[in-house]
Amino acid sequence: MGKRYAAFEALPLGAIKPEQWLRDQLRIQADGLTGHLEEHWADVGPDNGWLGGKGESWERGPYYLDGLLPLAYLLEDERLIAKANRWIEWALASQREDGSFGPDRIETVNGDVDKEQDWWHYMIMLKVMTQYEEATGDERVVPFLSSYFRYVRGRIAKQPLRGWAQARGMEMLLSIHWLYRKTGEEGLKELAGIVAEQTTDWTGVFRDFPFWRKVEQWDWKTHVVNVAMGMKAPGVLYELTGDSREREAVHRGIDSLMTHHGQAHGMFSGDEWLSGTHPSQGVELCAVVEYMFSMEQLTRAFGEGRFGDILEKVAFNALPAAISRDWTSHQYDQQVNQIVCNVAPRDWSNGDEANLFGLEPNFGCCTANMHQGWPKLVAHLWMRDGEGGLAAVSYAPCTVTAQVGAGGSAAEAIVKVRGNYPFRESVDIELALERPAEFAISLRIPEWCERPAAEVNGEETALTIEKGYAKLRREWSNGDRLTLHLPMRVKTVTRNLLAVSVERGPLVYALPIRENWQLLQRREKFHDWEVYPGSPWKYGLLADSEYEAELSDVACQPFDASHPPVRLKAKGRLVRDWKMEGNNAGTPPMHPRADGQPIEDLELVPYGGAKLRIAEFPTIGHPLEARNHL
């Protein structure tokens, strides 16, 4: 630390507010599980150890708060703010003379009391505290953190990171970096080096990735949530050292993960451990939200558009797919090809309930941790570029308030982003400035977009793209308007055994299967459900199918297969020999038997809205398909 290596700077929580469909999404979340979980789930209820109770006192309270707090302040919801602040006030008041804080004892939901120092759950609460300070300016937070890190420095040599904390030490580094930027305390540099040394060598894991197949046994380095978190580690270390090898390791790691475990929704598989590329293997919701946060941190560290591309694909597909439309239930594991959600054994390392929709299917970590996905996306939609300018990470609708320009010419800017992206191709950006200012707006140009175009006040402007960004530097004035056109061409992506997925822009499209929701367990508010299919699913797509996009109004909940804002028309046939295997859709056949089946008009919808779906299709009539050459 000392020299600044990070390409971008995150804006403080609250500087970016959601608008249009994105604000609706946060409101649905607040009215569902996030806003009412304390009232219906004892693990984060009044007896939680992080509220002074005798219940669970490990990660679940901090996990929950890590999503509840930013949601509350982004929505400016006084009820939720009061709810979040109860946890904050207890944590601040719990600090002891030596700088330690938190519950007196560590007890998990299984009743295990850990008598040795476990640093992991404190790391989550540290991230919560930094967000709280940004949102409120509470002057107690910085000395609170400084005191705690002095406590850590005095003990971490004898009580080093281990287990979860060792695999996730970069989460503590984020808070150390944050505090150093605030205070410049030299002792934090030394502590950062110690924490980095004790953390799993994710740079080595990703640089020479050794996990080429589905993993069958426990390992800290293949646990899917650890991997999703670990992806940010080279970026966090880069902020410490400026070593270009960290950047190389990140790209090699992403490439390897997607080659050996990648799935159509932008995530790698992991129904607990890395699980290969089969479209019926699951991926844990905890991994989805943590991978999003890693992409946000990698964008900040390296300033490259690729990480924004991944962030959008995961956020707009994998995240909503695993949560019910009304935010009253969620899945532990989702599947790309998901034809039934029921209690049944699957070839996963999880239990028989992992793909149910419910309050706590399989295990409660996702029940606690899922809440950070949308709020943290909002908080990282735009960043500072370190030179008085702004950089767009994603074009989801929002309003940004930030200082722009440099020195005496700096001015406050309000940037309004509209257009209902990613369901539409054009983004409208309007600036409100207290006075004219010269600065750059860096526009992320997605890799999927072949012919981007931009206009400033109605006049076309040239785009020169570097590292996925086009930088427009000029003197901007109050009322200036910037329009970005990102044409979305439908494309098919070839996957294993000639199967394909279908994409348009950052959205993946799926064949929705009619959903029959069957109540499994009734509770006061958050029930458990099985979901059974009510329409055929064994469809392949014609190799020469043409795709036509049809637009509809963007509803309050756009991730709803019955009212999608975009539909794709396609051609397909039923495949007779596509089997179920182990209570899942089997491998999409490389030689699909569709002879004699009529060609049917199929309607594909955004992946995130279809809770039962096929999103990796057999290809019928592929030029390489062996039947064509018999």
Compute how many other C-beta atoms are within 10 angstroms of the C-beta atom of residue 400: 20
Residue 1, pLDDT score: 62
Mean pLDDT over each residue of the chain, to the nearest integer: 96
pLDDT (tens digit per residue) in 360-385 = 999 999 999 999 999 999 999 999 99
pLDDT (tens digit per residue) in 269-308 = 999 999 999 999 999 999 999 999 999 999 999 999 999 9
Residue 630, pLDDT score: 41
Give the integer Cα–Cα distance in Å for 256 and 212.
8
Q: Has residue 626 got a pLDDT over 70?
A: no
Give the integer Cα–Cα distance in Å for 620 and 630.
15
Nearest C-alpha neighbor of 519 from the set 508, 510, 532: 532
Nearest C-alpha neighbor of 416 from the set 437, 403, 430, 401: 430
pLDDT (tens digit per residue) in 93-150 = 999 999 999 998 776 766 655 545 799 999 999 999 999 999 999 999 999 999 999 9
Three-class secondary structure of residue 179 per DSSP: helix
Residue 112, pLDDT score: 59
Considering only CA atoms, give the Rg of the chain.
24
Asked whether the beta carbons of 376 and 293 are under 8 A apart, the reply is yes
Give the integer Cα–Cα distance in Å for 155 and 74.
36
Residue 625, pLDDT score: 73
What is the mean pLDDT of the segment spanning 481-501? 97
What is the mean pLDDT of the segment spanning 479-503? 97
Residue 367, H or E segment:
helix 365-369
